[in-house]
């Protein structure tokens, strides 16, 4: 009897997993047709080989939506492959969002999306490879490979500002990133910043003043008025950018709490009010 129950539960688990994957594929069906006919589509097997079958030694990092691996394509191009595991509708939505929003965008301060793979056992995004890790690594890690000079910090602030301005004003639609933070600022070989991870981004027409949407972002970077009202405008990114500048200048995390002075924002606000 116990054996039969174990087999039944195992069968149920396998069936549930299969149905879940089929639902994800149906959700991705429309985009599959579009990208299979374009040069943005990569075969799953190609990316498997490029990353040495997602070997741990090629892993660059991991975020909320998945892991990122370094890969070398057959033509010699070095790329970053984001490996996504969908377990909720949210991940499917974020995949759609990122592919649709940034596949045609080119700017020196935005990470370029080269394509995607959606036909294999898991969905993948392919980006240009940015070699020098993310900004948080240089600001907050104890084992720092390099201390950023003030000139480099200034250039990072200016470059990030130019990337955000392009999203807000450089196209026929406005794109609000919603997750500007140090771990989403990548640095290239010249320490030039590139904004990454558009999974939470939203776009709206230039004639609209705001977009009502669910709250999303990272604690410590979200604008208070956005948190309270849920009305998204460019100011949400501007607030996050301001927090980013404070972190670059101080070397402190925005959400780190110091007993004597509180968070970084509380410290700065206290200094501002004392003048």
- For the stretch 173-184, pLDDT in tens is 889 999 999 999
In a shared domain, residues 64 and 169: no
Q: Which of 106, 128, 150 is the last residue of a domain?
A: 128
54: confidence class by pLDDT, cuts 50, 70, 90: very high
197 given a catalytic annotation: no
Q: Which of 128, 150, 177 is the last residue of a domain?
A: 128
SS3 state at 57: helix
In a shared domain, residues 266 and 145: yes
Could you give the angle at which helices 29-36 and 2-27 cross, rounded to 10 degrees?
50
Give the integer Cα–Cα distance in Å for 149 and 162.
20
In the predicted model, what is the mean pLDDT of residues 155-171? 97
Q: Write down the catalytic residue from 93, 136, 179, 275.
A: 179
Q: What average pLDDT does the chain have?
A: 82
In a shared domain, residues 46 and 25: yes
Q: Could you tell me the two tokens for 154?
A: 């200034």
CATH for 233: 1.10.510.10
In a shared domain, residues 158 and 94: no
In a shared domain, residues 144 and 266: yes
In a shared domain, residues 95 and 12: yes
Domain span including residue 52 = 2-128
In the predicted model, what is the mean pLDDT of residues 40-67? 90
- Give the chain's domain count: 2
In a shared domain, residues 107 and 48: yes
Q: Tell me, what's the pLDDT at 219?
A: 85
CATH for 46: 3.30.200.20
pLDDT of 13 over the 50 cut: yes
Q: Tell me the β-bridge partners of 71.
A: 79
Q: Tell me, what's the pLDDT at 82?
A: 92
In a shared domain, residues 261 and 149: yes
DSSP state of 184: G
Q: Tell me the β-bridge partners of 83.
A: 67, 124
Give residue for tokens 């602030």: 157
In a shared domain, residues 7 and 123: yes
Give the integer Cα–Cα distance in Å for 262 and 255.
9
pLDDT of 158 over the 60 cut: yes
In a shared domain, residues 6 and 23: yes
* pTM, entire model: 0.80
Element (H, E) at 45: helix 44-50
The CA-atom distances, in angstroms, between 127 and each of 81, 104, 115, 131 are: 6, 12, 7, 12
In a shared domain, residues 67 and 153: no
In a shared domain, residues 20 and 140: no
Q: Which of 128, 154, 184 is the last residue of a domain?
A: 128
Among 27, 181, 170, smallest CA distance to 102 is for: 170
């Amino acid at each position: 009897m116990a054996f039969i129950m174990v087999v039944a539960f195992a069968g149920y688990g396998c069936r549930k997993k299969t149905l879940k994957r089929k639902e994800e594929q149906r959700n991705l069906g429309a985009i599959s047709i579009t990208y299979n006919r374009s040069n943005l589509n990569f075969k799953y097997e190609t990316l498997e080989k490029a990353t040495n079958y997602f070997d741990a030694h090629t892993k660059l990092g991991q975020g909320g939506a998945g892991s990122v691996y370094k890969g070398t394509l057959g033509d010699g191009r070095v790329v970053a492959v984001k490996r996504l595991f969908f377990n909720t509708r949210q991940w499917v939505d974020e995949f759609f969002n990122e592919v649709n929003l940034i596949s045609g965008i080119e700017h020196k301060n935005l990470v370029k999306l080269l394509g995607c793979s959606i036909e294999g056992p898991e969905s993948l995004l392919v980006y240009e490879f940015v070699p020098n890790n993310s900004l948080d690594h240089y600001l907050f890690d104890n084992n720092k490979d390099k201390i950023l000079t003030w000139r480099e910090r200034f250039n990072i602030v200016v470059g990030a500002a130019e990337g955000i301005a392009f999203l807000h004003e450089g196209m026929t639609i406005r794109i609000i990133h919603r997750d500007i933070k140090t771990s989403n600022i990548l640095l290239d070989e010249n320490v030039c910043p590139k904004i990454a991870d558009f999974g939470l981004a939203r776009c709206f027409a230039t004639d609209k003043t705001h977009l009502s949407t669910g709250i999303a972002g990272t604690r410590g970077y979200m604008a208070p008025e956005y948190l309270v009202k849920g009305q998204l405008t460019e100011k949400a990114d501007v607030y996050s950018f301001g927090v980013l500048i404070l972190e670059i200048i101080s070397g402190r995390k925005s959400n780190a709490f110091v007993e004597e002075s509180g968070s970084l924002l509380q410290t700065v606000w206290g200094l501002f009010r004392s003048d």
